[in-house]
Amino acid sequence: MKKKLLIFYRRIREHLWFRPFLFCLFSVAGALIAHQADGIGINDLVPAIDKESIGGLLNTISASMLVISIFAVASMLSAFSSASGTATPRSFKIVVTDDVSQNALSVFIGAFIFSIVATIALDNGYYEKAGRFILFLFTLILFAIVILTFLRWVDRISRLGRLEHTINQVETVALKSLSAYIKNPSLKALPINGKFHEENAVLANSIGYIQHINLEYLQSLAEEFELKIRLNCIPGKFVHNNFAIAHFITNKDIDLDKIKEKINNAILVGETRLFDEDPRFGLISLTEIASRALSPGINDPGTAIQIIGSHERLFFLWRKELENSNETEVAYNRIEVPEISMEDFFDDAFRPIARDGADNIEVMLRLQKAFNSIATINNSDIKESAIRNSKDAFERAQKAIKFKHDINILEKQCIFKNE
């Protein structure tokens, strides 16, 4: 239940209206709570605040905040459009959840609502001496928050939607999901091991991408009915109605259709991929930015080279995990989960860049240098994949680059030539 609520919260907070709605509730509550000061006997202890001075301040806030809120929304929509157009449409979800922009919009709308509610209450005699003083303090605090938020937001909106800023945002999100995967490649379950009786196949009940797997629920289900469950999917996998998302075995006489339905309910399928638990999606999104930059209409090899650097940093997360390697605790001992092959990670990150940048010597040199760097990680799978991709990229370049001297320079940087 907690997991479902957490997933629901993550999804709903991505919507642009969520935080402004919360701030509106807080604003209304703040404007009304000030009245409570009238009942605690501090009328003789606080200075008298003129009703007109508070009203003038509230009118200033209400008049300006509505304009600023409209301006903020227009600026954010422009930034979102820019991110989708210059980077990749997949980056839209990351840009739209930018904390600084959402908080700024929330503060501006919340300040507007606060000023309207407080003005109505003030004009109708809702506050006495103490209440007006507390309302005045709340208004001053809100005014200071609005100014600080506006200054911070101006700095952010100048960068929001810019290509370099979007790349950094996508890399940050990719780093989080990839780090979580590297620490627990089997998601705290057992890795796939040996053969498995596949007569009890659980077919997906919808078509789309796996967004989340509730392993806690599957473990409790397996313990209750003495099951062994082998999953055939992880977040990011595309499934259809004839795809077996899981198999299970049991020695108990149980309703198999009911078990299949319960397993299906534990696996969330959606129309789009999500960054939270999908370690490959961040790499794919970064590579899409590079591919767009390398298209003939844009011809921006510098962005592709920057993306290669981002991929290099992300792959070195495996080195950090090797240095801090600890035994992974198995929390779900009745479930087997497939791991992602290293070839898939390399194909997601580098193959499209090698394909689209094959005729650009600068991009191909940077790519080969990245393979040399990544191959130094003490992991045999990583080294094998780096060598294979180095060879494939060089063969692509041989067919695309006509100048022999460039090919000779590139060949010297190829790791497979030095093995």
At 200, which CATH number?
3.90.1170.30
Cβ atoms of 281 and 344 closer than 8 Å? no
Considering 270, 286, 308, which residue would you say is the last residue of a domain?
A: 270
Nearest to 42 by CA among 117, 159, 140, 128: 128
**Rounded distance between C-alpha atoms, residue 163 and residue 170, angstroms:** 11
Nearest to 27 by CA among 108, 102, 124: 108
Considering 270, 292, 315, which residue would you say is the last residue of a domain?
A: 270
Say if 118 falls within a structural domain. yes
Say if 149 falls within a structural domain. yes
**Same domain membership, residue 124 and residue 243:** no
Beta bridge partners of 209: 238, 270
Cα Rg for the chain, rounded, in angstroms?
28
Say if 103 falls within a structural domain. yes
Beta bridge partners of 269: 210
**Same domain membership, residue 56 and residue 12:** yes
Residues with Cβ within 8 Å of 363's Cβ and at least 6 positions away in sequence, in order, are: 294, 301, 304, 305, 308, 353, 357
Q: Looking at this protein, which amino acid is placed at residue 308?
A: I
What is the pLDDT at residue 21? Answer: 87
**Same domain membership, residue 318 and residue 194:** no
Give, for all 419 residues of the chain, the pLDDT tens digit: 566 677 677 777 777 788 888 888 888 888 888 877 777 766 667 788 888 888 888 888 888 888 888 888 888 888 777 777 777 778 877 877 778 888 888 899 999 998 998 888 888 888 888 888 888 888 889 889 999 999 998 888 888 778 888 899 999 999 999 999 999 999 999 998 877 666 789 999 999 999 999 999 999 999 999 999 999 999 999 999 999 999 998 888 888 899 999 999 999 999 999 998 999 999 999 999 999 999 998 989 999 999 999 999 999 999 988 777 666 788 899 999 999 999 999 999 999 999 999 999 999 999 999 999 999 999 999 999 999 999 999 999 999 999 999 999 999 999 876 66
Q: What SS3 class is residue 349?
A: helix
Say if 117 falls within a structural domain. yes
What is the pLDDT at residue 182? Answer: 93
Say if 171 falls within a structural domain. no
Host domain of residue 27: 2-161
Distances (CA, A) of 360 to 201, 373, 415: 48, 20, 19
Say if 19 falls within a structural domain. yes
What is the pLDDT at residue 44? Answer: 66
CA atoms within 13 A on the CB side of 362: 9
Domain count, the chain: 3
Say if 307 falls within a structural domain. yes
**Same domain membership, residue 290 and residue 259:** no
What is the pLDDT at residue 4? Answer: 64
Nearest to 101 by CA among 74, 130, 136: 74
Cβ atoms of 393 and 350 closer than 8 Å? yes
**Same domain membership, residue 402 and residue 312:** yes
**Rounded distance between C-alpha atoms, residue 188 and residue 181, angstroms:** 10
